[in-house]
Copies of this chain bind each other. A is one copy, B any other.
Amino acid sequence: MEDSTAPRPVPVAPPAGPRRGLGLDEIRLTGGFWERLQRSNSDATLRHCLEWMERLGWIANFDRVADGSTGGGRPGWQFSDSEIYKLVEALAWEYGRTGRAWANETLEALVDRIAAAQDEDGYLNTCYGHPGQEPRYSDLPSGHELYCTGHLLQAAVARARTVGPDKLVEIARRAADHVCREFGDDGRAGLCGHPEIEVGLAELGRALGERRYTEQAARFVDRRGHGTLRPVALLDATYFQDDLPVREAEAWRGHAVRALYLAAGAIDVAVDTGDAGLLGAVARQWDRSVERRTYLTGGMGSRHQDEGFGEDWELPPDRAYCETCAGIGSVMVSWRLYLATGDVRYADLIERTLYNVVAASPSEDGCSFFYANPLHQRTAAADVKPGEVNPRAEGGVRAPWFDVSCCPTNLARTLASWQTYAASVEGETVSLLQYAPGEVRLALATGGLALRIETDYPHEGTVRVEVLEAPGHPVDLRMRVPHWADGATVADRSGERTAGPGWATARGLGRGDVVVLDLPVAPRLTWPDDRIDAVRGCAAVERGPLVLCVESLDLPQGWSLEDARLDPTEPPRPEGDGAVVRMRSAAAEPGASGRVPYRSTAPEGLPPGEPGRAVRLVPYHRWARRGSAAMRVFLPTS
Contacts and interface: CB of A to CB of B under 8 A. Distances in A.
B529 A311 contact: no
A533 B236 contact: no
Interface in A581-597: 586, 588, 591-597
Contact of A597 (B292, B563, B602): B292
A602 B291 contact: no
Contacts of A484: 600
A452 interface: no
Nearest to A538: B536
Interface stretch (A103-111, A112-120, A200-208, A296-304): A296-304
Contacts of A318: 311, 314, 533
A354 to B, nearest CB: 14
Given A403-B234, A531-B588, A602-B568, A562 B313 contact: yes
Interface stretch (A9-17, A187-195, A519-527): A519-527
A601 interface: yes
Interface string A599-611: 1111100000000
A64 to B, nearest CB: 24
Nearest to A296: B598
Contacts of A343: 594
Number of copies: 2
Contact of A378 (B295, B304, B312, B528): B312
Interface string A267-299: 000000000000000000011001110111010
Contacts of A313: 378, 562, 597
Contacts of A596: 290-291, 294-296, 298, 349, 352
Contacts of A527: 598-603
Interface in A4-29: none
Contacts of A348: 595
A532 interface: yes
A317 B379 CA distance: 21
Contacts of A295: 596
A333 to B, nearest CB: 13
Nearest to A605: B530
B392 A234 contact: yes
A501 B405 CA distance: 54
Contacts of A528: 597-599
A533 B534 contact: yes
Contacts of A294: 596-597
A597 B291 contact: yes
A137 to B, nearest CB: 22
A345 B319 CA distance: 31
Contact of A311 (B379, B594, B603): B379
A597 B636 CA distance: 18
B236 A591 contact: no
Given A314-B378, A586-B530, A595 B305 contact: no
A571 B287 CA distance: 41
19 contacts: A231-B391, A291-B596, A296-B598, A311-B379, A312-B378, A314-B318, A317-B533, A345-B595, A526-B599, A529-B598, A529-B599, A530-B586, A530-B636, A531-B562, A531-B597, A533-B535, A533-B636, A536-B537, A536-B636
Closest 7 CB pairs of A and B: A529-B597, A537-B537, A304-B305, A345-B594, A536-B537, A305-B305, A530-B603
Given A314-B318, A529-B597, 8 more contacts: A236-B391, A236-B392, A296-B596, A298-B596, A311-B379, A313-B562, A349-B596, A528-B599
